[in-house]
């Protein structure tokens, strides 16, 4: 018999745990797993199961409302900045005190709780206070990519549901379930780095193959000139700009769907439109960073292959050939070091265009 948890491909254990908890829920759950695993899908599915008279049938009105994002008793908290502020979580606490409008629970979703221990003024104590004194009919659903030790007290107040990284095969299965063609699903899955959200964007991107070609061609196109390196960096940056179109289209479709569904239930507009649009901007910024990391990964593979080929050449080679192969090994190792450093610099909020220009110039000098 199918239910809302059937969509959690590759998460058999987590799905089984959630089916049990939907029947006898406690006041707080912590969903944790690597970015891009289907934690987000699981949170929505579990919220639907909590509101459903049949614990997540997927077809009743209660399930449909939650899955469509229009259940007034399911509140998704939004932070104002990079980290959770105390004021943000005080707002969450106030919302959690409301009585549910329907017969089910009041469900409060707080994502990325690891961000309660970052920033100038950690806000974890404010979240802990809400978890220690929960209203009877409120259930907190928390998510985190990583759970630092400093959150142990919060973790102790929750049932923890752990998710594993998705394999390429898992991603491909989800994409094909979504209706993608087999070849497009396979290419997107291999390029997504285990990230389901990214895979769902890439499968709609006709320019994915072209971007792969650009990144793979970098070593052969760098001729040691600054102008050539700058031109290549500009080409990559333009390709990333074009890659944003499918994600922006998805966000536009999502907002239009939410607006239609809100009107269908008698609302004038989407109640949390501002928060949704802020979330979309964060997702778009994250996607750009992931796109650069994806390119660095592709380029690293190219240089590793060049290094291995050169090592093979040195086995039975003349002195002249051996010298050229040794140089290729050395330059490939230097290139890999540069790529590692570039990947680390991505975390410093450096301008993307400047980063790519520096990278190409550095590689051109080898």
Nearest to 347 by CA among 170, 141, 56, 118: 118
pLDDT tens by residue, 331-353: 999 999 999 999 999 878 788 88
**Where would I find the H helices in the chain?**
12-23, 39-51, 61-67, 86-96, 124-132, 152-155, 168-177, 182-191, 196-202, 208-221, 226-264, 273-313, 319-345, 352-364
pLDDT tens by residue, 17-42: 999 999 999 999 999 988 778 898 89
Dist. CA 47–CA 43, nearest whole Å: 6
User: What CATH class does 4-165 carry?
Assistant: alpha beta
pLDDT tens by residue, 261-300: 778 777 777 766 777 787 788 888 888 888 898 899 999 9
Beta bridge partners of 142: 30, 110
pLDDT of residue 195: 85
| Sign of the dihedral through C-alpha 301, 303, 305, 308 | negative
Q: Which of 7-11, 160-164, 241-245 has the highest mean pLDDT?
A: 160-164
Residue ranges per domain, the chain? 4-165, 205-364
pLDDT of residue 320: 55
Query: Considering the chain, what is the average pLDDT of its residues?
Result: 88
pLDDT of residue 48: 96
Dist. CA 250–CA 248, nearest whole Å: 5
Q: How confident is the model at residue 316 (pLDDT cuts 50, 70, 90)?
A: low
Structure tokens at 113: 């709780």
What count of Cα atoms within 13 Å lies in the side-chain half-sphere of residue 142?
29
pLDDT of residue 119: 67
Dist. CA 141–CA 119, nearest whole Å: 23
Nearest to 194 by CA among 39, 319, 89: 39
Average pLDDT over residues 176-182: 90
pLDDT tens by residue, 205-219: 888 889 989 999 999
Average pLDDT over residues 86-97: 93
Q: How confident is the model at residue 178 (pLDDT cuts 50, 70, 90)?
A: confident
Dist. CA 241–CA 258, nearest whole Å: 26
Report the predicted TM-score, pTM, of the whole model to 2 decimal places.
Answer: 0.67
Average pLDDT over residues 63-88: 88
- State yes or no: pLDDT of 50 exceeds 90: yes
What does the radius of gyration of the chain's CA atoms come to, in whole angstroms? 24
Dist. CA 237–CA 326, nearest whole Å: 32
Structure tokens at 145: 């990519």
pLDDT of residue 271: 67
């Amino acid at each position: 018999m199918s239910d809302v948890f059937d969509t959690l491909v590759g998460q058999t254990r987590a799905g089984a745990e959630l089916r049990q908890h939907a029947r006898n829920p406690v006041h707080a759950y912590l969903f944790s797993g690597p970015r891009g695993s289907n934690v987000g899908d699981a949170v929505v599915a579990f919220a639907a199961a909590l509101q459903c008279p049949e614990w997540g049938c997927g077809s009743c009105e209660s399930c449909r409302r939650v899955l469509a994002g229009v259940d007034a008793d399911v509140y998704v908290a939004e932070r104002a900045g990079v980290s959770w502020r105390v004021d943000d979580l005080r707002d969450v606490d106030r919302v959690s005190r409301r009585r549910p409008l329907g017969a089910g629970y009041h469900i409060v979703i707080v994502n990325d709780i690891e961000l309660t221990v970052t920033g100038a003024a950690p806000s974890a104590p404010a979240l802990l206070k809400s978890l220690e004194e929960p209203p009877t009919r409120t259930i907190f659903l928390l998510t985190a990519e990583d759970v630092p030790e400093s959150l142990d007290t919060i973790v102790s107040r929750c049932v923890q549901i752990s998710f594993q990284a998705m394999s390429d095969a898992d991603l491909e299965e989800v994409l094909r379930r979504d209706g993608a063609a087999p070849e497009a699903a396979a290419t997107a899955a291999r390029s997504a780095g285990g990230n389901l959200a990214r895979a769902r964007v890439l499968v709609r991107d006709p320019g994915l193959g072209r971007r792969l070609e650009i990144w793979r061609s970098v070593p052969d196109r760098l001729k040691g000139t600054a102008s050539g390196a700058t031109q290549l960096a500009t080409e990559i940056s333009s390709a990333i700009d074009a890659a944003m179109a499918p994600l922006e289209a998805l966000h536009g479709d999502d907002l239009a769907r939410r607006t239609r569904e809100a009107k269908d239930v008698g609302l004038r507009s989407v109640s949390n439109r501002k928060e949704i649009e802020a979330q979309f901007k964060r997702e778009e910024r994250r996607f750009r960073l992931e796109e650069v990391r994806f390119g660095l990964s592709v380029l690293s593979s190219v240089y590793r292959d060049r290094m291995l080929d050169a090592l093979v050449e040195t086995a039975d080679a003349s002195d002249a050939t051996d010298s050229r192969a040794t140089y290729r090994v050395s330059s490939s190792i230097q290139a890999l070091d540069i790529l590692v450093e570039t990947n680390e610099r991505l975390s410093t909020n450096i301008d993307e265009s400047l980063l790519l220009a520096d990278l190409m110039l550095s590689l051109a000098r080898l």
